[in-house]
Amino acid sequence: EPEVTQTPSHQVTQMGQEVILRCVPISNHLYFYWYRQILGQKVEFLVSFYNNEISEKSEIFDDQFSVERPDGSNFTLKIRSTKLEDSAMYFCASSEEGPPLHFGNGTRLTVT
Amino acid sequence: GEDVEQSLFLSVREGDSSVINCTYTDSSSTYLYWYKQEPGAGLQLLTYIFSNMDMKQDQRLTVLLNKKDKHLSLRIADTQTGDSAIYFCADLNKGTYKYIFGTGTRLKVLA
Average pLDDT over residues B47-68: 93
Report yes or no: B48 and B34 within 8 Å, Cβ to Cβ.
yes
Supply the pLDDT for residue B1.
67
Question: Which stretch of A21-25, A54-58, B39-43, B47-51 has the lowest confidence by average pLDDT?
Answer: B39-43
pLDDT over 70 (residue A4): yes
DSSP strand pairing (B9-13 vs B105-110): parallel
Exposure b/e, B64-102, CB count within 10 A at least 16 = b:
bbeeeebebbbbbeebeeebbbbbbbbbbbeeebbbbbb
Please state whether the peptide bond connecting residue A8 to the residue before it is cis, i.e. omega within 30 degrees of 0: yes
The upper half-sphere exposure of residue B59, i.e. CA atoms within 13 Å in the direction of its Cβ, equals 4
Q: Which of A78, A69, A65, A67 is nearest to A20 (CA)?
A: A78
Shortest CA gap B41–chain A (Å): 5
Of B30 and B109, the structure prediction assigns the larger pLDDT to: B109
Q: Does B2 touch chain A (CB under 8 A)?
A: no
The chain-wide mean pLDDT, for chain B, equals: 91
Supply the pLDDT for residue A63.
94
Supply the pLDDT for residue B99.
85
Q: Does B43 touch chain A (CB under 8 A)?
A: yes
Supply the pLDDT for residue A70.
86
Banded model confidence at residue B95, pLDDT cuts 50, 70, 90: low
Average pLDDT over residues A59-80: 93
Are A48 and B99 in contact (CB < 8 Å)?
no
- B84 Cβ neighbours under 8 A, 6+ residues apart: B107, B108, B109
